[in-house]
Amino acid sequence: MKRSRAALLAGLAIGALFISGCSAADDSGSADGTLQFLGTDDPATYAPVIEAFEASHPDITVEYTQVPFDQYSSTLQQRLGAGDDTIDVYGVDQPNLSQLAAQGFLEDLSDLEDEAKAATSEGQYEINRYDGKMWALSVWNSTQLMFYNRDALTAAGIEAPTADPDARWTWEQVAEAGRAAQAAGTPYGLVLEQIEAYYQLQPLAESLGGGSGIVGDDMLTADIANDAWVQAMNWYGETFASGLAPRGVGGFQTAPIFSDGDAAFFVGGPWDVGRMAADADFDWGVAPMPYFEGGDAVTPTGSWSWGINTASKNKDAAREFIEFAAFDAAGALSTAEATTIIPANTDAEAEYLPGLEELGGEHAAGVADLISYEVENTAVSRPTSVGYVQFEAEMNKAFADIRNGADAAERLEQAASQIETAWTKL
């Protein structure tokens, strides 16, 4: 299945990780061969995979219901907690899998472990495991890339980076080059897409050896105030204090700063390749996500899996559906038909990525090989913990405060205390 430029551009409106909207819920039963599928994305996102599945499984119909992302977790908790059997399959935000499994809301899929291992990367296999069992199947994956403004760098007399992971820049190099670009007339040196999100900021601490921030045999001990975390967050806070990065712009609102030519560097996802191809009228390119000098190259990963509601009355059909999306290469590719998000299935990924590179043209040269490399070699998943939801919420608040001038060491200590308090209520 070829990835057309038109199809990928059409997916820009729904290609980011978190997309909201609403639709009316359908409370009809699903024991008659009709599957009820719940997720956060626009129905157009899943139309291709549903159509492909129904064509190969004519006795099963899939009805999709969308819940806005910011309401999704609470909706799941309410409906699954009440034993709602009108949900058969639902999207699982991967860091939340442990909590959902611990609550008994996910069907055990451990008998599919061998197929799951063969179908995806090690990280995307492991992210679905909790307490020695497997609870969901990965459908999408992600990574981060550094986009650069070649025109801005040339004006500053700086040679642009390349897509070669062996020539990966350090964060220190990026900051220095960004400031030089500012001196040459570019308003900002560096912008990140998810500026207050653990997903994008975890690699800063991980690069310096600070770990994920959660430790312990039960993964319920906060470790975010160690030297590496403090060093990483001091650096991050300084990018805003110095004016290298802009304050006052929210998460997923920074891409236009780069596409308008007002930043030298932008760290975002593969979904931004299409955005830049459509919107940027300057010479841009793609390079690996940086790392700290003397540290390790670390990139974020993960996205969404699909799981089966333990209260479902149509589990056999539900398994057919999620196996089609995760294990069948054509089925997995159809999950990305209307998006610019990477399929988790490695065979589907290999077919998908050249189309993404084609979409970006000469500006995205080498991006397919780069993404494949990062997924296999530098990807670090968010921690597996039944307390991840509370952890992420407190961390994101801390990032916002550090961005706005809070002392990193003090704020991380405070966040650790708040996380531990929240975990006592589990």
CA 94-399-211 angle, 5° bins: 60
Q: pLDDT class for 339, splitting at 50, 70, 90? A: confident
146 has a pLDDT exceeding 60 = yes
Helix and strand numbers, DSSP H then E, in the chain: 18, 17
Q: Strands across the sheet with 263-268, in order?
A: 188-192, 263-268, 145-149, 284-288
* Least confidently predicted of 21-25, 118-122, 133-137, 158-162: 21-25
Of the candidates 140, 198, 143, the one whose C-alpha atom is nearest the C-alpha of residue 11 is: 140
How confident is the model over 396-413, as pLDDT tens digits? 999 999 999 999 999 999
CA 99-101-102 angle, 5° bins: 65
For residue 423, the model assigns a pLDDT of: 97
For residue 251, the model assigns a pLDDT of: 86
Does residue 245 contact residue 262 with C-beta atoms inside 8 Å?
Answer: no
Q: What is the mean pLDDT of the chain?
A: 92
Q: pLDDT class for 252, splitting at 50, 70, 90? A: confident
Euclidean distance between CA atoms 124 and 138, whole angstroms: 6
- Predicted TM-score (pTM) of this structure: 0.89
Residues near 218 by beta carbon (within 8 Å), at least 6 away in sequence: none
133 has a pLDDT exceeding 90 = yes
For residue 235, the model assigns a pLDDT of: 98
CA dihedral of 229, 230, 232, 237, whole degrees rounded to 10 = 130
Backbone φ, ψ for residue 389 (5° rounding): -60, -45
Does residue 169 contact residue 161 with C-beta atoms inside 8 Å?
Answer: yes
Quick one: 370 exposed, middle or buried, by C-beta within 10 A (0-12, 13-18, 19+)?
A: buried
Euclidean distance between CA atoms 101 and 130, whole angstroms: 7
For residue 351, the model assigns a pLDDT of: 95
Helix H or strand E segment including 286:
strand 284-288
For residue 70, the model assigns a pLDDT of: 86
4 has a pLDDT exceeding 80 = no
How confident is the model over 166-190, as pLDDT tens digits? 999 999 999 999 999 999 999 999 9
Helix H or strand E segment including 128:
none
Euclidean distance between CA atoms 377 and 370, whole angstroms: 10
Average pLDDT over residues 192-212: 97
For residue 300, the model assigns a pLDDT of: 96
Residue 120 three-state SS:
coil
Euclidean distance between CA atoms 221 and 217, whole angstroms: 9
Helix H or strand E segment including 400:
helix 388-403
Of the candidates 183, 86, 190, 204, the one whose C-alpha atom is nearest the C-alpha of residue 147 is: 190
219: left (phi over 0), alpha (psi -120 to 50) or beta: left
Residue 182 three-state SS:
helix
Backbone φ, ψ for residue 131 (5° rounding): 55, 40
Residue 67 three-state SS:
coil
For residue 198, the model assigns a pLDDT of: 97
141 has a pLDDT exceeding 80 = yes
DSSP secondary-structure letter at 280? -
What are the residues facing 190 on neighbouring strands? 265
How confident is the model over 376-403, as pLDDT tens digits? 999 999 999 999 999 999 999 999 999 9
For residue 10, the model assigns a pLDDT of: 37
Tokens representing residue 50 in the block: 């549903």
CA 380-373-368 angle, 5° bins: 125
How confident is the model over 42-95, as pLDDT tens digits? 999 999 999 999 999 999 999 999 999 889 999 999 999 999 999 999 999 999
- Residue pointed to by tokens 């310096």: 208
How confident is the model over 294-325, as pLDDT tens digits? 999 999 999 999 999 999 999 999 999 999 99
Tokens representing residue 40 in the block: 């956060």
